[in-house]
Structure 1
Amino acid sequence: MHTACLSLGSNVDPERHIAIAFAALRERFGDIRASAAYRTPAVGFEGADFVNAAAVIDSDLDVHALNQWLHALEDAHGRDRSGPRFGDRTLDIDIVLFDDLVCSGPGNLRLPRGELRHAFVLRPLAEIAPEIVEPTSGRTLAALWAASGERDVAMHEVALPAVLATAAD
């Protein structure tokens, strides 16, 4: 089994899409650690606010198979990859950490994921998995968050539809 830290985001009907993603992760992987969901401004483009969250899963899939499974989940919920790299998203799920793996490629797979430096990725992960170590720095997620220059970024907690998933486990 492998431990994967995931970042989830949506800015198109976001509460619904994040709840659906949590439900799909639970259905496929069983018990997961799920963060609260936070509303944050779009990064890298002008667009609607995102709802971001994180999950930690135990996976029987290797990193490439998990990445493919996550892309299929995104696609099943209307992810459009034909536009610019930064744009509106129904569902965006990235592997941020996978065990202690450090890799680059294929495609956009980069571990650890560079977006870990952003509050919208780091804060929810540090809240649910403070003990996990980022392999290139050797620091825990809690230590990275404590030293983050984005600790003051406004992140407002939002409720997810209870029918599909809870906001936090």
Structure 2
Amino acid sequence: MTRIYISLGSNIERERHIRAGLDALHAEFGELAVSRVFESAAVGFAGRPFYNLVVGADTTLPLATLCQRLRAMEFAHGREPDAKKFAPRTLDLDLLLYGELICESPITLPRGEILTNAFVLWPLAELAPTLCHPTDGRTLGELWQAYDKSAQQLSPIPFHWEARELQHQ
């Protein structure tokens, strides 16, 4: 079993697509560790604000198969196959960590956004504050503590999924 962390984001019908993404991930992996949901401004383009969160799950899927399944989930929820990198999203699923794996193919891991985007780092640090970043060496909690929080505005929001409120205990 490999512990994985996936970032979810949406800025088109945000609540509907975040719930649909959580449902799809739950159907694929079973029990999920789920961060709070955060609202943040679009990064890299002018667009409506996003809802973002991170989930943790365990899988036996090989990396390439996992990447294909996440992509299929995005397409099933309205993502265009030729969607630009910095553009509005119905559902964006980004694999952040696959155990301690460091690789460049079929995707780059650990994902670079962990170190640069508050909407990835804060919810990831909530779920796994003592986990060490595979290349940086610091824990995710230490990385969040050192992050320049004035760089990106981020707000936790009330959000319910499967009759439970997503909030960090």
Task: Give the TM-score, by structure 1 length.
Answer: 0.91
Does residue 62 (structure 1) correspond to residue 50 (structure 2)? The answer is: no
The letter for the 2-side match of 1:125 is L
Match of 1:78 in 2: 78
Match of 1:32 in 2: 32
In structure 2, what is the Cα distance between the partners aligned to 1:135 and 1:162? 31
Match of 2:111 in 1: 113
TM-superposed CA distance for 1:151, in Å, is 6.0
Backbone CA RMSD of aligned residues = 1.8
* Distance 1:47-1:24 versus aligned 2 partners, 3 A rule: same
TM-superposed CA distance for 1:64, in Å, is 1.3
| 1:110 partner SS | coil
| 1:125 partner SS | helix
1:146-157 to structure 2, matched below 5 A, reads 146-150=145-149, 153-157=152-156
| 2:96 partner SS | strand
In structure 1, what is the Cα distance between the partners aligned to 2:118 and 2:44? 14
| C-alpha distance after superposition, 1:131-154 (max 9, x if no partner) | 221110111111111111236632
Q: Which runs of 5+ in 2 are unaligned?
A: none
* Distance 1:151-1:102 versus aligned 2 partners, 3 A rule: farther
| C-alpha distance after superposition, 1:46-105 (max 9, x if no partner) | 111110000011011121111111101000000113242210110001111111111112
In structure 2, what is the Cα distance between the partners aligned to 1:153 and 1:21? 24
Aligned residues between the structures: 167
Task: Give the TM-score, by structure 2 length.
Answer: 0.91
Give the share of equivalent positions with the same residue, in percent: 40
1:108-147 to structure 2, matched below 5 A, reads 109-117=107-115, 118-147=117-146
| 1:104 partner SS | coil
| C-alpha distance after superposition, 1:17-51 (max 9, x if no partner) | 11111122122211111011111000011111110
TM-superposed CA distance for 1:157, in Å, is 2.0
Q: Which runs of 5+ in 1 are unaligned?
A: none
